[in-house]
Structure 1
């Protein structure tokens, strides 16, 4: 649906009235709501602080002996909530305005209702709101941490189904250990903001009514002359320049528009007359220009084709030279890399020669040490064999001592028998015989111990001899391995010397190759430069020819286009009606 200018003006003015009012009203509502929320929180916090101060002053009276603790606590409860009724409930009559449904409650640290309008004396530690939050535990926790706000969802006192957001400020009293909580519904904070919102809605409604009438009046006054100009412009658009536009005495923009449109129609009528006279002479000139442009285009195309072939050859030559130069650079890079690696190989081979020489020296030393080890092992084996013989000799001596001990023991026994026969005269001899027998027994025991010790030495000596045999065998095998290693190192030394000689020859050849590649690179670079210059010159000539050809084509096209435009212009001019 196409809207007229009057309707657009009315709509625009109504939008200008409505949108700012809505924005201002919304901002004002949220600002006032925020301020009311802050004021409500401040009221709750001040109420709790006032209650704590009241407890402090009342507790001083208890300390001075003016009141008992029970009387003092009851006085505080009456002040914060109200007096206790016969039914065990308290009528809310606190001096602090906490809203329509706001009131104080007091808990102990275990969740017992110390003071409450209706459930005083009940433990509410496990109480939850409609969202499942343990609100009493949360309030006590916040109070122990220095005080703070707790928000939760709770039903209204007069409607269990109506759930509203509720807020409380909680803080612990240092004197009696009470948790003081002041709570109210957040909707009580926003009553002032709702009144502001209602006033803004009424203001917006009145503004729309009054603005609508004013918009209609001014829109009609402005749209009438514009509608007339629109109708005249439609006539002119259809080619009728014979319309007569009356001027006006209005001094605003609409008056200027009407007068300017009238002057435009007069000037346009004069311009069309002049153009109609010039069209005929331009037509013949454009036809001659088209003929000349066609002849010049044909000649330029032949020249352009010849130079284009030359340009393609030069470009291909420059491209080939450039590819050759790039390949030469790549080859030079690889040659240089090979030269560097050859130098590294030469250094590495020298290092291998030095390491091989050091290895030969170490093998020679190891060979000498292996011979020394074998000699030492042989000498140790001889010593162990000698020790074995000596032990055997000691064992023979011990056998002799043991035999003497047995004979001595037998002689002592015979002496004891003879002393017994001698009677009183043989007692002294019997004592001597007894001592000799003891000495013989001790000697026998000692020889047994020595025999056992020698047996252990013999066993260890046998084990040592066996190990010496193994060590001697290992020393011989080690010496054989050292000899083989020495032969391998000698072979490696010969191979490395040959490799080093070959690497030196290769390095000399690569150095010659590096010198040659530098000369080739310079030559290819020179060829590439010349080819590029030739290609650039050819391309420049080709570009000039193409530009000339394009210019001729443009002239030809322009002449043809001019001829077409003149014909179209003649058709369009004939549409205008200059005389009535």
Structure 2
């Protein structure tokens, strides 16, 4: 894109572009005008051809109708002959061929309608009614054709499928006129593309001719623009080289006497004058540069040496002072650190004693948990035995209940037998009185047994209920004892883990206490050494500050000398740089 932009900004490109536009505009206008003119003329000729074909068919109808009136032909024969003449013989499938002798274009043909839209003669639709047929634009083509015919004849434009390809819909034009003899509407129709085919061929020829003319014009314009732009480009390139400082290139050779030639001569004169000036300046700048470089080098060496000494002494003074301050701070910090180490050592001893006491209590707690576990196991066994015994008591009370039931049944039977015996004794009269007394006593005894059995049943029932409650309570107590035993076991394991951890902690604290004792001794020695270093650093800092002050005075004087020589060196270098820009 960048190169394309540069080309369009050149004189050559602008000349070519303007010339092409001047060539292309009239050629395009001429081509469009010629095509439209030929298209309109062909449309008029086509419409005339359609009208002539319809009038020729109507004339044919009049001639055949005259023969019908003279009795030479029947009406049906005459009408069929018209159909054959405008189209062709009717084929077995009901269609008719298109008569190629009637030139209505490649796809044009004649067809005939009546006033109701019935196809009297048609290549494919003969016998069908097309009154309601419409094109994709909603135009009722058959109705419009009949309307034009009834109005004295006219053209109808609509879209219709091609005869050989029903899927292709193209613009079509038809001329229709009413026949006064048989009442037919004679229609000649063809497609606009058949009318415009010669115009399209003409358009192709126009485009080819205009393309050739445009190509020749571009070549001529390109040669002309190249002849103008080439010398200008040479001058431009020559000036670009001069602007870069190159004065060694050869003079321009431009033979023309016009403004371009004058521009080339002026460029050559500029190069010659500039070369002479630069040669003189170069000699002067070389001499000045040589002297200024010697002075600058000497000044810079002295300046650099003094600056280096001053910087070194300043750094040394600063470092010594920092060292002294750091040593003092470190000595103070070491004193504090020694106190902290001593406190840590004392605290470590106390923690060691405390950890040993914790270990002792943990061991005692662990022993107590073991004893509690044994006691809970004994309680668990006792409760379990009590549950089994209560369950056995419940079973025995159930057996007693069964025996009581049997005794109750026997008492009831005895009471019943005593009642029967009393009845029999009453029947026996005097002889049965003694037996009646015995029976009465037996009945009373049976009633007492029944009452006792009822009391025993109530007592046994209460015993069973109480034993069930006791068994359930003992069972729940057994579960609680079991859970308590499990928790005591877990607590015992936890005490064991705590005992191990406390033992390990006590050992570690003992080691830490020993290490803190060693650190305390080393800290005291380090504190003494740091105090000695701080004292020596303060003495060194004082000596370095005196030396630094002397170096700064020397450096200040040499800086002024170096600045003066440096300014002179810069001026010489700038002049020399300007001269080096030009290549002589």
Q: TM-score, normalised by structure 2?
A: 0.40
In our comparison, the structure showing a higher alpha carbon Rg is 2
Q: TM-score, normalised by structure 1?
A: 0.41
